[in-house]
């Protein structure tokens, strides 16, 4: 039975990745066009633009505990289904908001409600998807599951942005609303035949207990994610300030290294330890940020972006393995919800903070500050190595084999 469990997850995890991909694709397609719709289409100011964009982040952060609790108590598959249905509702509200474009404040109020529902949907889907994958896989594949699901998330956001721009340019915001409503509905067909992981009926941790168990790896992940935010937000501006052409190449270098690391080394946190991998990769990420800070030629900045992507790619699953191992199996969903909330919070705070630094200093100083911040994640990883999870046991030989690429 154990052998069947370790052999079966690959196609199932691909299906779960597909669900996550669609969920974040509908998030990605709206990212570049919402500001245009609110500012140009509804004629509202920058504050409202920021409010609409940030409402999803706030709803996602607030709903993490509910998503984790529901996934643990009712089953991860049901959590994913709930998330998809809520996403459909958010798309329908997008459509309803278009009926009130003559009354911009009414229209944006409905749009805000839709954005809030989409944030809650994202929270349910990603939390339940990771918990579902962990339940289907063997104990030695924790890091691989987190890495695979995370890859689907980042890839869909990267692809969704240009797709959304094309749809908006050709058909307007109505196309974005229709895609948001229909894509999750179609994805339910992918979810339906997948085997459900039975919810655990043992006593579960409360949210406060889970946060107490995972806050250290969560802090490490949050600190490590600052490099990601620095590249995605400021590297194009650095290229523009320096007069270097083709700033988009930095995003490509980052994304390529990120994906390659996930493909070839996703087994590493399970095989050699999450904290050890997080420490090594945070050092690589910090080196990449330092290289961008010191760059005098665009090639140096591109190399720094690639190192940042490679390092951050395994920082998140590395600390994620440590988070999961610090809670009992019946609280995995809540643990991933709490752990991911640290990443949400960091991404919500890091970019504005780095922007303030960039306002009062040269643009490259942003990457120096980011490098120092990421180095703090190294200290967190070192602490975790000295304080391993008390219930952590070495993998058996048959379990270790399942973590190695074939």
Please check whether residue 406 lies inside any domain of the structure. Answer: no
- Pick the more confident residue, 4 or 144: 144
Predicted local distance difference test score (pLDDT) of residue 206: 63
Which string of DSSP letters, residue by residue, matches 311-375? HHHHHHHHHHHHHHTTS-GGGHHHHHHHHHHHHHHHHHHHHHHHHHHHHHS-TTHHHHHHHHHHH
**Are 218 and 362 within one domain?**
yes
Q: Which domain holds residue 250?
A: 207-390
Please check whether residue 99 lies inside any domain of the structure. Answer: yes
**Are 245 and 353 within one domain?**
yes
Distances in whole angstroms, Cα of residue 131 to Cα of each of 75, 78, 283, 313 = 9, 11, 29, 20
Helix (H) or strand (E) holding 11: helix 9-30
Helix (H, G, I), strand (E, B) or coil at 267: coil
Predicted local distance difference test score (pLDDT) of residue 406: 27
Helix (H, G, I), strand (E, B) or coil at 138: coil
Distance from C-alpha of 52 to C-alpha of 30, rounded to nearest angstrom: 11
**Are 129 and 28 within one domain?**
yes
* 373 — pLDDT class (breaks 50, 70, 90): very high
Average pLDDT over residues 277-299: 95
Please check whether residue 198 lies inside any domain of the structure. Answer: no
Predicted local distance difference test score (pLDDT) of residue 287: 97
**Are 152 and 11 within one domain?**
yes
**Are 153 and 273 within one domain?**
no
Percent of the chain scoring above 70 in pLDDT = 83
**Are 42 and 179 within one domain?**
yes
Could you tell me which of 152, 149, 127, 156 has the C-alpha nearest to residue 27? 156
Please check whether residue 278 lies inside any domain of the structure. Answer: yes
Asked whether the beta carbons of 312 and 258 are under 8 A apart, the reply is yes
**Are 312 and 236 within one domain?**
yes
**Are 227 and 140 within one domain?**
no
Could you tell me which of 59, 171, 153, 172 has the C-alpha nearest to residue 115? 59
Please check whether residue 331 lies inside any domain of the structure. Answer: yes
**Total number of domains in the chain:** 2
Please check whether residue 164 lies inside any domain of the structure. Answer: yes
**Are 110 and 214 within one domain?**
no
Please check whether residue 299 lies inside any domain of the structure. Answer: yes
**Are 96 and 167 within one domain?**
yes
Tell me which of 161, 191, 221 is where a domain ends: 191
- Please write the tens of the pLDDT for every residue from 374-395: 999 999 999 999 988 765 444 4
pLDDT at 144 over 50: yes
């Amino acid at each position: 039975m154990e052998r069947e469990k370790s052999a079966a997850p690959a196609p199932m995890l691909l299906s779960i990745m597909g669900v996550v991909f669609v969920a974040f694709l509908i998030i990605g397609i709206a990212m570049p066009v919402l500001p245009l719709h609110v500012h140009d289409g509804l004629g509202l100011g920058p504050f409202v633009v920021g409010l609409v964009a940030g409402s999803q982040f706030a709803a996602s952060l607030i709903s993490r505990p509910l998503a984790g609790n529901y996934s643990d108590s009712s089953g991860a598959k049901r959590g994913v289904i709930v998330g998809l249905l809520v996403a459909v509702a958010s798309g329908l509200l997008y459509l309803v908001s278009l009926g009130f474009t003559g009354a911009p404040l009414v229209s944006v109020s409905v749009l805000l409600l839709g954005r809030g529902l989409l944030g809650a949907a994202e929270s349910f889907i990603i939390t339940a998807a990771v918990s579902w994958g962990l339940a289907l896989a063997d104990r030695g594949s924790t890091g691989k599951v987190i890495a695979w699901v995370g890859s689907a998330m980042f890839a869909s956001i990267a692809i969704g942005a240009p797709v959304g721009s094309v749809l908006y340019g050709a058909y307007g915001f109505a196309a974005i609303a229709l895609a948001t409503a229909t894509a999750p509905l179609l994805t339910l067909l992918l979810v339906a035949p997948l085997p459900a992981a039975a919810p655990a009926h043992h006593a579960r941790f409360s949210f406060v207990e889970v946060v107490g168990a995972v806050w250290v790896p969560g802090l490490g992940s949050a600190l490590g994610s600052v490099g990601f935010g620095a590249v995605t937000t400021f590297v194009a501006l650095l290229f523009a300030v320096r007069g270097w052409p083709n700033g988009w190449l930095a995003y490509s270098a980052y994304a390529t290294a990120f994906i390659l690391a996930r493909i070839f080394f996703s087994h590493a946190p399970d095989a050699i330890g999450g904290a050890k991998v997080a420490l090594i990769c945070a050092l690589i990420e910090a080196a990449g940020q330092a290289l961008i800070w010191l760059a005098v030629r665009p090639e140096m900045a591109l190399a720094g972006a690639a190192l940042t992507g490679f390092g951050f790619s395994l920082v998140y699953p590395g600390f994620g393995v440590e988070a999961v191992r610090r809670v009992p199996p019946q609280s995995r969903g809540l643990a991933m919800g709490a752990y991911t909330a640290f990443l949400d919070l960091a991404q919500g705070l890091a970019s504005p903070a780095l922007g303030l630094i960039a306002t009062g200093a040269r643009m490259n100083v942003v990457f120096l500050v980011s490098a120092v911040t990421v180095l703090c994640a190294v200290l967190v990883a070192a602490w975790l190595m000295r304080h391993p999870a008390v219930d952590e046991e070495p993998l058996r030989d048959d379990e270790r084999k399942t973590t190695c690429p074939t």
